[in-house]
Structure 1
Amino acid sequence: MRVERDVNLKSCNTFGLPATARRLVRIREAADVRRVVDHPELGRAPKFVLGGGSNLVLTKDLDAVVLKMEIPGLRLLEERTDAWIIEAGAGVPWHELVRWCVEQGYPGLENMALIPGTVGAAPVQNIGAYGLEMKDRLDSVEVMDLVTGRPVRLPAEVCQLAYRDSVFKQSGPGGLAGKSVITSVRLRLPKPWQPVLGYLELERKMAETGISAPTPRQIFDWVCAIRRAKLPDPAVIGNAGSFFKNPVVTPEQCRDIIGRDPGIVHYPMPDGSIKLAAGWMIDACGWKGKTVGGAAVYEKQALVLVNRGEARGAEVVTLARAIQESVYGRFGIRLEPEPVLL
């Protein structure tokens, strides 16, 4: 195990924001976590887990020990009559896993193609797109305790996955924020495969192509095309994907907003609540293309904030807060950021 000091994190976060890690350890196997815990200097120090840096806004240097998750590995762990069980290391890029599964003939993740970040971060945020969420496919996770260094396997139900939330983000009683790190993930891909096609943009693709029964590969390609058309590539324009969560309101709240803004995009949820399109609200407030320093609202998708050059984290936060106040003033809804603001 090698401790790197004063590491520039600009290339380690998809926003491309400047910050320095005073101490960084690259975790390339689960045993490396135990080595950090047992280390006389690092063991008692605060720790920060860093995956692909795709859900992060850095506003300052990090004094905590940064655990850079780089654990590799992809395999079919088990094939059952009702499912494929896939295991992946926490450092595997999420899109690499999705592509591998499609190519190997293990469908079920194709709707979540091109989501940035690593496999280990996917359950933390309960990532999702185009009608599918991590909670729909998670079997279990292997975690290492950051105090004892002991490994524990947690079944999906213990992870408490909800909309962009999980037990790994919760710091109260029973929460695991700052207490553990995911080292591997197991996914359950149901058999027989059933396509998830209820999303409007996928329905449009079916209409455009005339394909009413797409294959997993076709859905994978469609999702990649849709995302590339409306979301910037972090390798070209720094960003953290969707910056705000889509707020969930009661039917009464939704009716009140529709009374004032009939065009608002909204989706009924299975529990009777209504999900509002945050991007539509931001656009309606006139923010598309607006800037604060080097930070800007992406001109093709108002839900995405981007780094136009040498943006600093403070500029991103200032822009985000201005958007929140604007949306609250018009709709009475307080938008909640998706990324972690440090």
Structure 2
Amino acid sequence: MERRFQLKSLNTFSVNAFSKSIVTAHHEHTLLKFWRKAYSKGKPVLILGGGSNILFLENYSGTILLNRIKGIFITENKTEWQLHVGAGEKWDELVVHTIKKNIPGLENLACIPGYVGAAPIQNIGAYGVELSQICEYVDAIDLCSGKKIRFTCSECDFKYRDSIFRNCLEKYAIVSVGLRLRKRWKPILDYHELAHLDKFRITPRQVFNFIYIIRHKKLPDPVLVGNAGSFFKNPIIDIKTARCLFQIYPNMPYYYQKDGRIKLSAGWLIEHCQLKGYVFGEAAIYPKQALVLINRKKIATGTEIAALALYIYNKVADKFNIYLQPEVRLIGNYGEINPKKLFM
């Protein structure tokens, strides 16, 4: 019988999937070596960090390559700190590390699961801050040529939950990320749950503590309940469509974007379809946050969770004529699946 490797502990949804093999890379040269070895056999390769933003829909027919390249290197000048961080560092541990060293700038991004290498792929963001605002560069290996390339922040083409890497996951392997944090710190308290804080007296550590409390109150712990955080992106629509919706739903929350468009709350849309807490087999919508889908007892299949997501997609489309897009990557037998194939 062909040997299979369990992936349940390698994805925060705790989906019980298997792969043909699993290898771990602690250095750039071993990562490239393992990738080339697997690729030479004609099998797919999936480079994985913490598995906090993926959903396995079925068993994976190739090699799971765990990126565990570590290292946090900090330099500074009169105006800023510069951090060079290995892709295999856990993001939340990096935030805690900087807070302990009295280096502000990452506090709004506290408690985000996953590894540093995954942060640029979807341009992680929370509470008014996105990675693009503090990223200086991303170092990645071109898997075809074997050469290491440094992408500047502008070359990463960061957008809302998007970057140049999201659609090129089979071409590049991110090995490190460069961050630039200014010493002249100003708290970012625009998010409504932070608006009551005094911007003249608040400290970075206090902002971190507030966000820690907020996130742990409304988001489930993946150790206890399988989940990948927010399943859908917040939709961004044009101003004309937004005005029509506001006439019908005057209490609908919204956020102006720099390009003049309007960002809506996907969680609010789902909740106002009366879906909060909705149970679909062993999958469900988290009762405290409608944007989070959960594997209740860690026995739901990936297709069961995807079916729930499709149900939500159709309900929101029917009620609001808005088509949600998944933030979570869908992984099939041979690699990532275009969500358009599922959400039509």
TM over 0.5: yes
Match of 1:246 among 216, 234, 253: 234
* Residue identity in the other structure for 1:252: K
CA distance in 2, matches of 1:91, 1:190: 24
User: CA offset at residue 127 of structure 1?
Assistant: 0.3
CA distance in 1, matches of 2:38, 2:120: 31
CA distance in 2, matches of 1:307, 1:133: 28
Kindly indicate whether the alpha-carbon contact (under 8 Å) linking 1:298 and 1:305 is maintained by their aligned counterparts in 2.
Answer: yes
CA distance in 2, matches of 1:14, 1:87: 26
Change (3 A) 1:40 1:73: closer
C-alpha distance after superposition, 1:198-227 (max 9, x if no partner): 1110123x2xxx674211100111110110
* Equivalence map 1:1-342=2 (5 Å): 6-39=4-37, 42=40, 45-76=43-74, 78-170=75-167, 176-204=168-196, 206=197, 212-309=200-297, 310-342=299-331
Change (3 A) 1:132 1:239: same
CA distance in 1, matches of 2:149, 2:270: 42
Kindly indicate whether the alpha-carbon contact (under 8 Å) linking 1:144 and 1:180 is maintained by their aligned counterparts in 2.
Answer: yes
Secondary structure, aligned partner of 1:188: strand
Secondary structure, aligned partner of 1:114: coil
CA distance in 1, matches of 2:266, 2:288: 14
Kindly indicate whether the alpha-carbon contact (under 8 Å) linking 2:90 and 2:115 is maintained by their aligned counterparts in 1.
Answer: yes
C-alpha distance after superposition, 1:284-333 (max 9, x if no partner): 00111111111100000101001111111011100000000000001000
* Residue identity in the other structure for 1:36: F
* Residue identity in the other structure for 1:240: A
Segments of 5+ residues of structure 2 without an aligned counterpart are 332-344
CA distance in 2, matches of 1:53, 1:93: 12
User: Structure 1 residue runs of 4+, over 3 Å off?
Assistant: 40-45
C-alpha distance after superposition, 1:71-124 (max 9, x if no partner): 121120x21222211111111110000010111121101000000110000000
User: CA offset at residue 44 of structure 1?
Assistant: 5.1
Segments of 5+ residues of structure 1 without an aligned counterpart are 171-175
C-alpha distance after superposition, 1:159-218 (max 9, x if no partner): 111100000112xxxxx33101101111111121121111110123x2xxx674211100
Q: Which residue of 1 aligns with 2:341?
A: none
CA distance in 1, matches of 2:210, 2:41: 46
* Residue identity in the other structure for 2:207: I
Aligned length: 328
Kindly indicate whether the alpha-carbon contact (under 8 Å) linking 1:51 and 1:68 is maintained by their aligned counterparts in 2.
Answer: yes
Kindly indicate whether the alpha-carbon contact (under 8 Å) linking 1:33 and 1:146 is maintained by their aligned counterparts in 2.
Answer: no
User: CA offset at residue 46 of structure 1?
Assistant: 2.5
Change (3 A) 1:42 1:103: farther
Q: Which residue of 2 aligns with 1:173?
A: none
Kindly indicate whether the alpha-carbon contact (under 8 Å) linking 1:33 and 1:149 is maintained by their aligned counterparts in 2.
Answer: no
CA distance in 1, matches of 2:222, 2:300: 14
Give the root-mean-square deviation of aligned CA atoms.
1.5
Change (3 A) 1:86 1:193: same
Kindly indicate whether the alpha-carbon contact (under 8 Å) linking 2:143 and 2:172 is maintained by their aligned counterparts in 1.
Answer: yes
Secondary structure, aligned partner of 1:325: helix
Change (3 A) 1:40 1:297: closer
Kindly indicate whether the alpha-carbon contact (under 8 Å) linking 1:34 and 1:150 is maintained by their aligned counterparts in 2.
Answer: no
CA distance in 1, matches of 2:155, 2:241: 32
Change (3 A) 1:262 1:7: same
Secondary structure, aligned partner of 2:47: strand
CA distance in 2, matches of 1:143, 1:88: 12
Secondary structure, aligned partner of 1:16: coil
Kindly indicate whether the alpha-carbon contact (under 8 Å) linking 1:246 and 1:275 is maintained by their aligned counterparts in 2.
Answer: yes
